[in-house]
Amino acid sequence: MTSPPRTVRPEILDELPPTDARAIRSRRDLRRVNRVMGSCGILSRAMRRALASSSRHGPLRILELGAGDGSLALHIAARLAPAWPAAELTLLDRQPLIPETTGIAFAHLGWTLRLLTVDVLEWARAPTQRQLTGRWDLILTNLFLHHFEADALRELLSAVADRCDIFIACEPRRSLPALLGSRLLPALVVSRDTLHDAVVSVRAGFRGQELSDVWPARGAAWVVEERPAGLFSHLFAAARGDAV
């Protein structure tokens, strides 16, 4: 059976101001959704695998795109910090969403936190020399790429490929189990907004080699892996050379 094509529709959470009560509720729901999807484990394992063959000695330079309230990044950092006790982490989102307590928690882990409040396409279009850092060792993202139609996605991934050595994305999988899972979210007592956004996200999600198809393979030799992960997720990992 062929799956329906991707459809990208606006998500309610993206339209609400950060301090709106509905947005606060949705972000709390999102933390639970990430737990159910196993996002932290999926991303941490993929990052460990990719970093295992990294020859880097100084602090890791990591960027997360569409980082939301930073809670997922904090859980990932807690898992990686024993192996990578020093890292410079930048969290990019177009809304300022990181609570002060999250910054303090990163500091306790020994990770330096920087915040970048900007639309990601503006970041992608800015010349590389105007970036915070010339290159990132690793760029990651979770539940984010599905917001973009093919042309914007191609533009974004092209900037990502120019600016990092490893890229890892965990996205909704456009599959029947994921659609059923999103319809069963009321069992987690989530809001109507979260329910709406979950269904929209799955329909905009990925399957097969859809991200590999828009990944810019030119120039450096990238090793690319794209596959289902967990029950509901779709993992894409690209590394220069043989780091995946």
Residues that bind ligand SAM (CB under 6 A): 14, 30, 34, 66-68, 72, 93-95, 119-121, 142-144, 147
Instruction: State which residue, 11 or 222, has the beta carbon closest to ligand SAM.
Output: 11
Least separation, in Å, of the C-beta of 15 and ligand SAM? 10
Instruction: State which residue, 141 or 175, has the beta carbon closest to ligand SAM.
Output: 141
Instruction: State which residue, 204 or 238, has the beta carbon closest to ligand SAM.
Output: 204
Query: What does each C-alpha distance from 33 to 23, 40, 236 come to in angstroms?
Result: 15, 11, 19
Secondary structure E strands in 163-232: 164-172, 222-229
Please state, in angstroms and rounded to a whole number, the distance separating the CA atoms of residues 162 and 144: 19
Instruction: State which residue, 161 or 204, has the beta carbon closest to ligand SAM.
Output: 204
Least separation, in Å, of the C-beta of 160 and ligand SAM? 13
Which backbone phi and psi does 161 adopt, to 5 degrees? -65, -30
- Nearest residue to ligand SAM, by Cβ distance, number only: 68
Could you write out the three-class secondary structure of 98-155?
Answer: CCHHHHHHHHHHCEEEEEEECCHHHHHHCCHHHCCCCCEEEEEEECCHHHCCHHHHHH
Query: Is residue 103 within 8 Å of residue 74, measured between CB atoms?
Result: no
Least separation, in Å, of the C-beta of 30 and ligand SAM? 5
Least separation, in Å, of the C-beta of 55 and ligand SAM? 29
Least separation, in Å, of the C-beta of 58 and ligand SAM? 26
Instruction: State which residue, 95 or 158, has the beta carbon closest to ligand SAM.
Output: 95
